[in-house]
Amino acid sequence: MRPHGKPILAAGCAAVLLTLVIAVFWYQDWQYSLPTPRPEALKQPALGMVMSVAEVLPGGAKYDPSRPLLLHFFNPECPCSRFNLDHIRELTRTYGDRVNIVAVLEEDSTDNLIDGFRKTGLAIEAVVDANRTLATAVGVYSTPQAVILDARGTLLYRGNYNSSRYCVDRRTEYARVALDALLAHRPQPALEPAAFIAYGCRLPRPQTAALLARATP
């Protein structure tokens, strides 16, 4: 009987490990399928409000003031932020010559955050929002989120990139739809409520000391 003991034990361990892996994936999928809890003290500027781009985007970030601005709120520790990297690359290829696209990096630590972001291969301007200055200004409390302002600073869109966690549903590419309307000089479309119910990861706690860092592609 002894020769059969080890294979049975190994099979049992493998079954337990597989069960744990499935449970982790299920939990992750379930966790990020729920709306991100809204902070009780959240104040969000209304769509249509004109904001000062210089105030929204401090820190000397480079941008063309004659172009619209897409703020991409990104946390490298958030799985949902990583899931939509390919979508951001596509938006950059499609609109990068007509729209300022700036990654707003949200994380607990600022150490090597810019260098880590560069490893994603996204050749766009990036700022570190260590004390949530930008997030607070535009009313963002989750990642990934998109904020679109026209060249005058009018807040046109604040919400999800897609209803799909992996940004694979072409019909619900909300940020792209908003950009297309803006660039075609059309009124912003009436998007479904799912566009504005934030999903993903809560923003990290703000740092004690305010710090904004800038990186150029």
Average pLDDT for residues 14-39, to the nearest whole number? 54
pTM for the model = 0.80
* pLDDT value, residue 21: 39
Q: Is residue 17 part of a domain?
A: no
Q: Is residue 173 part of a domain?
A: yes
Q: Is residue 129 part of a domain?
A: yes
pLDDT of residue 214 exceeding 80, the answer is no
Q: Is residue 201 part of a domain?
A: yes
pLDDT of residue 85 exceeding 70, the answer is yes
Residue 32: what are its φ and ψ, rounded to 5°? -90, 5
pLDDT of residue 174 exceeding 90, the answer is yes
pLDDT of residue 70 exceeding 90, the answer is yes
Pick 211 or 60 by higher pLDDT. 60
Burial classification of residue 182, based on how many CB atoms lie within 10 Å of its CB (0-12 exposed, 13-18 middle, 19 or more buried): buried
Q: Is residue 187 part of a domain?
A: yes
Pick 99 or 35 by higher pLDDT. 99
What gap in Å lies between CA 174 and CA 195, rounded to an integer?
Answer: 6
Q: Is residue 59 part of a domain?
A: yes
pLDDT of residue 30 exceeding 50, the answer is no
Q: Is residue 163 part of a domain?
A: yes
What is the CATH classification number for the domain harbouring 167?
3.40.30.10
* Exposure on the CB side of residue 190, measured as CA atoms within 13 A: 0
Q: Is residue 139 part of a domain?
A: yes
Q: How confident is the model at residue 19 (pLDDT cuts 50, 70, 90)?
A: very low
Tokens of residue 33, six digits:
């399928």
Q: What is the pLDDT of residues 126-155, one digit of tens each?
A: 988 878 889 999 999 999 999 999 999 999
Q: How confident is the model at residue 109 (pLDDT cuts 50, 70, 90)?
A: low
Q: How many domains does the chain have?
A: 1
User: Residue 154 in 3-state DSSP?
Assistant: strand
Q: How confident is the model at residue 118 (pLDDT cuts 50, 70, 90)?
A: confident
* Structural domain boundaries enclosing 110: 53-215
